[in-house]
Amino acid sequence: MKLKATGNYLSSPISKKLASNFIELGYGLQVEGMAAEMFFNRSFELFYPYRMINKLWFDLLDDETDLSSRCETDWRVFDWYHSSYEHNAWFAFPGTAGYQPICDDSTFIIEKSPTADVSIRLVDDAVHGKTAMYVENENGEKGGLGQDGKYCFAGVKYNFKGKIKKIRGQGDVCVALYKEGTVSEPVCVSSLPCIGDTYTEVNAQLYVSEDGRYTFVLLIPPQSAFVCDDFSLKPEDEVRGFKKSAVEAGAYVSPAVIRWPGGCFASFYDWRTGVGDNRQPSYSYFWGGFQYNDIGTDELASYAEAVGGESMICVNMYHPFKRYYEYVPPESLGGDPNDKTLHAALHDRDLIQFTDKQKGAAEAAAWVQYCNGDETTEGGRQRIKNGRVKPYNVKYWEMDNEAHRWFTAEEYAKTCVLYSKAMKAVDPSIKIGMISYCFSDEALEKMVMIAGEHIDFLADRGFEEKDLENKIRIITEYNKAHKTDIKYCNTEWLPLNGADVYNMVPRSQTKTNKCYMFSKWSYALDGAATLMMWQRHGGIVDFVNFNNLANTHSQSVIETPKEGAYITGPGMMMHRFAKTKAYRTLQIENYHPDRKDPVQIQLSETEDGDFLVLNILDRCEEDGGLELDLSVFGVPDGEYGGICLCGDSLISMNTLNDTQVKERPAAVNVKDGVLYAKVRKLSFSEFVIKKTKAAK
């Protein structure tokens, strides 16, 4: 490939926030794997089955076009599986749990010990959630309640707490850790204080002398019975509810803006359930499974800060259709929201609390005040009471997710105005985002005319450059006419429809599934092409949130097994875009790459104007070459260094113990103003090159 650079800028300066991410509560095991909490089902609840939408996105069905086809119940068969996807059962000890299949009738409770007269069962005697655990030991020795899957590190203190009450019996109660799979001798034991016949809060610390997998056990004396609830086990080095390793991995990736708590989850989220001391576990209305609410506003906003980013909150916009429906097709949007026979998709709950738009706007405003208010406000005082004095100063607020499920375009735009007025009355500095991906361009033009004075960014979800340019045209014309500064954002993107055979191809052709594709190097390469596209459009593109941050069948930038954390191929790519010195893209003569082109070249200038930044993306399976005429910049002859991310194949992937995507030093040479580069197959490279002449 031979190209010639010009000194002309392609667009305005690139936003520094393109490398951003997305966390969704309730979907998969994203925050559960990131969280410091080590118990599965710590509140002893009946397990809520995953809903079909979850199974489809996890690609568990043999045939995703046939919802009655077999659903995989052993997740260990997938190459994305690791220890944080475990569903560890509670079991009567002595005993072991082994792997439990994940299906609709799973309880993850093993009621009888195989070797002793010890039993456990759920009872309606709870102080946290709906049920508690009754533990009965009719054995002649201590027995009790166990759970496998506790990966512990030497030198770290593990803090246990719980609520326990005695039903009958005499003797000491203690907690212990056993080497997983053994029942003879504990490696550490900690006695609990005297427990009475009403719930007593107990605390203990546990230690191990070597790294490894352990079984947690509550040991009760012979001929006794106790009821337990609200257990917790966390490492002492946790960071505001998260594992230290999850924070360190997140800081490496360096997301500029983290969107939360969804996604689809956000559309049925009551933010008050995730703050304060009395958080109750619940059902994830959209995705199914447990939603413990241990990770909420304070934890998520603190995580964003800890990794060097800021938060963008996706707001639940109340609507009468949300009472019964998760989706209402366009032809039914004029129907009666209280008619359960309407042609629409039921969510199988009665959520009357999410139906009043005025109430929803007030709740959103209260959320802003909780995050951003000082001690003179009710919300600020509540946050301070919950342990956070300094406001979070959350700037970005997106108006729901996939609003076409309940709203017409005009109705949604008017509701955005309602919410914006209420929320900006609390904090005028916040930025309001109106979604743009589920309505036509014609409808969007009308929506912008309705809400444009009250919004600050479009929250989009597309990948095609023509669609991007249409959206940018709409807001640019509006900004010019109304002296506003609405930005384009993409708040949930996946690099779909890529240029290679491994991304989002029908399973009938590949015999694989989309989860398999998501985890591979091809996915990261397609991600780089999409990010380069957004760079070319300059600062009108403010931030874009890669879906997801963690533990989404490797559709993520970090994965957080119990043994530690690692960076995926897309995570390594995101790190490079987060740290890039590219400030403003430059035109290359007679060259405009398409996002799907297998080889792409992009040239930018640094902010100080003293250097060029050259990016080379090669998704081909053969090496190539580049000659780039840089004579317009007066580049001195010599070798210039850089970084190359590469994999041996499109299906290379990283795991905890096998890093197949490599970061290697690379170099290009300049002679007589022409840059010569050997382009490695299946790679993304960045080079920084000294120049002596300024761009125009």
Residues 40-72 have pLDDT tens digits of 999 999 999 999 999 988 888 888 888 999 999
**Residue holding tokens 């042609």?**
343
Q: What is the per-residue pLDDT across 255-277, written as a single tens digit (0 to 9) for each? A: 999 999 999 999 999 999 999 99
Q: Which amino acid, residue 540? A: I
User: Does pLDDT of 161 surpass 50?
Assistant: yes
Q: What is the DSSP letter of 312?
A: E
Could you tell me whether strands 624-629 and 2-9 are parallel, antiparallel, or unpaired per DSSP bridges?
parallel
How far, in Å, CA of 80 to CA of 655, rounded?
A: 8
Residue with tokens 């297998």, as numbered in its chain? 598
Half-sphere exposure of 4 (CA within 13 A, CB side): 5
Structure tokens at 473: 């045209």
For strands 431-435 and 457-460, give the pairing: parallel
Give the whole-angstrom CA distance, residue 393 versus residue 310.
9
pLDDT at 514 over 90: no
CB of 308 closer than 8 Å to CB of 251: yes
DSSP states along 240-264: TTB-HHHHHHHHHH--SEEEES-SG
Among 293-302, 317-326, 536-545, 551-560, which stretch is predicted with the lowest mean pLDDT? Answer: 551-560
Question: Looking at the chain, which residues constitute the CATH 3.20.20.80 domain(s)?
Answer: 238-315+357-579
Q: What is the DSSP letter of 154?
A: T
pLDDT for residue 63: 81
DSSP states of 505-553:
--HHHHSS-HHHHHTSHHHHHHHHHHHHHHHHTGGGEEEEEEE-SB-ST
Backbone angles phi, psi at 671, to 5 degrees: -140, 125
Amino acid at 608: D
Give me the phi and psi of 276, to 5 degrees please.
85, -175
Helix axes 521-536, 569-579, angle to 10 degrees: 20
Q: Output the CA torsion 687→693→694→696 (10° steps).
A: -110
Orientation angle between helical segments 378-385 and 357-372, nearest 10 degrees: 60
CATH 2.60.40.1180 residue ranges of the chain are: 2-15+584-690
Task: Return the C-alpha torsion angle 524, 526, 527, 531, nearest 10.
Answer: 140
CA distance 228 to 200: 9
Predicted confidence (pLDDT) per residue in 275-285, tens digit: 999 899 988 88
Q: Within 13 Å, how many C-alpha atoms sit on residue 583's CB side?
A: 11
Residue type, 25: L
Look up the CATH number of domain 40-235.
Answer: 2.60.120.260
Q: Is 594:465 a contact under the CB 8 Å cutoff?
A: yes
**Which amino acid, one-letter code, is at 294?**
D
Q: How confident is the model at residue 502 (pLDDT cuts 50, 70, 90)?
A: low
Separation CA 402–CA 435 (nearest Å): 8
Mapped to the 3 state alphabet, what secondary structure does 195-239 carry? CCCCCEEEEEEECCCCCEEEEEEEEECCCEEEEEEEEEEEECCCE
pLDDT for residue 176: 98
Closest CA to 439 of 420, 417, 458: 458
Other CB atoms within 10 A of residue 476 CB: 14
What pLDDT shows up at residue 505? Answer: 44
Q: Residue written as tokens 């959209």?
A: 286
Question: Where do runs of H (alpha helix) occur along 319-408?
Answer: 357-372, 378-385
Least confident range from 25-29, 75-79, 497-501: namely 497-501
Query: Which of 154-168, 236-250, 373-387, 498-512 comes out lowest in average pLDDT?
Result: 498-512
Q: How far apart are CA 267 and CA 286, in angstroms?
A: 8
DSSP-assigned beta bridge partners for residue 312: 259, 396
Average pLDDT of the residues in 296-320: 98
Per-residue confidence at 555, pLDDT binned at 50, 70, 90? confident
Dihedrals phi, psi of 381, to nearest 5 degrees: -65, -35
> Radius of gyration over alpha carbons of the chain, in Å?
27
Write the pLDDT tens digit of every residue in 136-155.
999 999 999 999 999 999 99
What was the pLDDT predicted at 499? Answer: 45
Q: What single-letter amino acid sits at 345? A: A
User: What is the topology classification, in CATH, of domain 2-15+584-690?
Assistant: Immunoglobulin-like (2.60.40)
Q: What is the pLDDT of residues 621-669, one digit of tens each?
A: 999 999 999 999 999 999 999 999 999 999 899 999 999 999 999 999 9
How many CA atoms within 13 Å lie on the side-chain side of 662?
Answer: 10
pLDDT beyond 90 at 534: yes
Residue 338 pLDDT grade (very low, low, confident, very high; cuts 50, 70, 90) = very high
Residue range 238-315+357-579 forms a domain whose CATH class is: alpha beta
Better pLDDT: 550 or 65: 550
Point out the least confidently predicted range of 44-48, 190-194, 518-522, 679-683: 518-522
Measured CA to CA, the distance from residue 43 to residue 26 in angstroms comes to: 16
State residue 504's pLDDT score: 45
Predicted confidence at residue 64, as pLDDT, reads: 80
- The pLDDT value given to residue 516: 80
Give the span between the Cα atoms of 462 and 439, in whole angstroms: 12
**Cβ(335)–Cβ(276) below 8 Å:** no
- Give residue-wise pLDDT tens across range 399-409: 999 999 999 99
Element (H, E) at 450: helix 441-451
Cα–Cα distance, 459 to 398 (Å, whole number): 7
| Per-residue model confidence (pLDDT) at position 525 | 94
pLDDT at 495 over 90: no
Indicate yes or no: pTM above 0.85: yes
What letter would DSSP give residue 679? E
How buried is 390 (Cβ within 10 angstroms: 0-12 exposed, 13-18 middle, 19+ buried)? exposed
Give every CB contact of residue 466 below 8 A, 6+ residues apart in sequence: none
Angle formed at CA 312 by CA 376 and CA 596, multiple of 5 degrees: 170
Length of the chain: 696
Find all residues with CB under 8 Å of 515, minimum gap 6, and list them. Answer: 58, 59, 78, 80, 553, 554, 555
Q: Determine whether 114 is exposed, middle or buried from the number of CB atoms within 10 Å of its CB (0-12, 13-18, 19+).
A: exposed
Q: Identify whether the C-beta of residue 586 lies closer than 8 Å to the C-beta of residue 689.
A: no
> Between these two residues, 608 and 502, which has the higher pLDDT value?
608
